[in-house]
Chains A and B, each alone.
Chain A
């Protein structure tokens, strides 16, 4: 078991954002979390990092209880987040952005990983010394994913990676997710509004509504579930 959340509750002030989440991710799986705006998808992601800190419940990662660990130490355990809205460092160069992704604990793999990332995302190599803010939205998303991978995570969290991208890049993002999982065995937890694409690449999926998980199953099961179709797919993004 890579990640196990049990009975997790979280609050933003008086807002009860997560209401007893039970969720698990197995090694080598792609797990997708879908839900409407404000359902608590992003909160679930960031609560893994202790922001917000869960008010009750337990999070076990790779056999260790990380529920109360300081935020900056959680990523050192092997979780990397590609945050919503990419959040690259715009005035720093692409090379510097990638360097910031390298874990403090072990920076020795920088050269090797840099070559791997530049092979995976050729655009990054040709623009190495360019300010990251000058990249297009899709290119920035590639950079954000590459930066997260630089720390050699065991679990990769992707928060709405297709948000605001051109259709070409949306397809590219999902291709990369599949490629990372299939060719490199990366375990991935994916939060998406683009339910159609996300469910297709997922082994398993959860549906989140008002801070609660209302439905779960394999990606295929949810794709054909009439309730899911009505709420997230038909007339939506396909």
Chain B
């Protein structure tokens, strides 16, 4: 709250001390039970011991940290203000118009470059299982981010339960394949359709809600699905989940050891390697993700996609323009959910094992963080944010138990540095110059 005040005027020393004291006081209250006291095992029973010196250190650090934070924030603000006043709004607009006329935007160049790197990656790391695994995870999150982007970024409907649709897709494939012997490609559209149905199911009762109220209901919906999966043991296997889910096959051939029936290695006459399956999975999710991107980009240019954005911008104006807000919102929920369902199918097929533990609220939170940090509605932003958010905990492995701290810190840095997300610029969906002699 005080950070906002800092943006407008330079706080005096006493203001800063007051602010830091308030933070230290909160730290003290929180710290008494969390740091000040601890339980120790004394001959079979627990005793409470106090740790006042540590608590004093914690409060002192909070005090100092708060002062440093407010100083740093101010420096950043001052710098960005200096940059802004440097170029006027008019020249920015001219630059934008010029960029549009040229046709190539830096974003599209980066986008193609990213696709190129993604396609070439396994060529350089074909033996490095770790890299391929992480890259596959990143792509799953990119796909989920693009799916959620339809709901949150484009239609402006804050959905905190997105993981529910991911779960619906994953369980649909798991059940269809283990119970009825369906293949990956047969189950994919069915699972997507079912997830879309769940999207409509969630969308229908929440049509009149928005903002925080919608967020709470979707949060609850996500939990309902997870609790159903935990408790409906006959269907979902309960907390034990579903095991030995078949891996995706290629025209009936699977990645099996040599001399097994239907082995791809035998068919192609190449040496069997377990890496082949991982590489195949990598390219499969890359394909699914790219299709998702093409689909969403195409949707944005259709009247329906533009109506999603219009509903985000101003619902009342939409109603007055004769847009059926109900259909527009439901279609956003359904399509977002369908894409989440596709990602879920892939997830189940890749893991071979799923349980409700993979579909907790923290998954929804990470996907939402990817969309928000990427810059709501930006396709490339989602890619960058997914890279940061998935890679960071991996890079942070050396920091052991501090990696979540690092993760949180990185998110704060992004929000301070780019409050609108990494790529906050919105790409226009209609770039068309009418021909002069038509009217």
List chain A positions with a Cβ less than 8 A from chain B: 49, 51, 70-76, 80-81, 83, 87-93, 95-96, 99-101, 103-104, 107, 111-112, 114-116, 127-131, 134, 147, 151
Contacts and interface: CB of A to CB of B under 8 A. Distances in A.
B314 interface: yes
18 contacts: A49-B319, A76-B322, A83-B320, A88-B314, A89-B317, A91-B426, A93-B428, A95-B430, A95-B431, A96-B428, A104-B323, A107-B303, A112-B439, A114-B434, A115-B439, A129-B100, A130-B93, A130-B96
A79 to B, nearest CB: 9
A220 B15 CA distance: 61
B310 interface: yes
A73 B323 CA distance: 8
A95 B316 contact: no
B157 to A, nearest CB: 16
Given A93-B430, A127-B93, A87 B324 contact: no
B438 A115 contact: yes
Nearest to A50: B319
Given A91-B309, A99-B430, A75 B321 contact: yes
A74 B322 contact: yes
Given A89-B310, A91-B426, A100 B321 contact: yes
Contact of A96 (B306, B323, B325): B306
B314 A87 contact: yes
Contacts of A76: 322
Contacts of A112: 438-439
A130 B428 CA distance: 9
A75 B303 contact: no
Interface residues of B, number: 32
Interface of B: 89, 93, 96-97, 100, 303, 306-307, 309-310, 313-314, 316-325, 426, 428-432, 434-435, 438-439
A115 B322 contact: no
B428 A101 contact: no
Contacts of A115: 434, 438-439
Contacts of A87: 314, 316-317, 320
Given A131-B426, A134-B89, A151-B322, A99 B434 contact: no
Contacts of B306: 92, 96, 99-100
B322 A51 contact: no
Given A87-B314, A89-B310, A72 B324 contact: yes
Given A90-B313, A129-B100, A151-B322, 8 more contacts: A72-B322, A75-B320, A92-B426, A95-B430, A96-B428, A100-B310, A111-B438, A115-B439
6 residue pairs, one from A and one from B, having the closest CB atoms: A75-B322, A89-B313, A87-B317, A81-B320, A72-B324, A93-B428
Contacts of A73: 322
Contacts of A51: 319
B331 to A, nearest CB: 14
Contact of B303 (A91, A93, A104, A130): A104
A107 to B, nearest CB: 7
A92 B310 contact: yes
Nearest to A157: B320
Contacts of A92: 306, 309-310, 313, 426, 428
B188 to A, nearest CB: 32
A170 to B, nearest CB: 22
A49 B320 contact: yes
B439 A116 contact: yes
B325 to A, nearest CB: 7
Contact of B322 (A95, A104, A114): A104
- Chain A CB within 10 Å, residue with most, of B316, B319, B320: B320
B379 to A, nearest CB: 15
Contacts of A147: 321
Contacts of B324: 70, 72
A128 B97 CA distance: 9
A129 B310 contact: no
Contacts of A72: 319, 322-325
A44 B300 CA distance: 35
A112 B435 CA distance: 10
A134 B93 contact: yes
Nearest to A101: B321
Contacts of B89: 134
Contacts of A103: 322
Contacts of A88: 314, 317
Nearest to A82: B320
Given A87-B314, A129-B100, A111 B439 contact: yes
A112 B426 CA distance: 27
B307 A100 contact: yes
Contact of A129 (B303, B428, B435, B438): B428
B365 to A, nearest CB: 25
B438 A96 contact: no
Contacts of A71: 319
A195 B377 CA distance: 43
A104 B310 CA distance: 14
B154 to A, nearest CB: 11
A114 B93 CA distance: 21
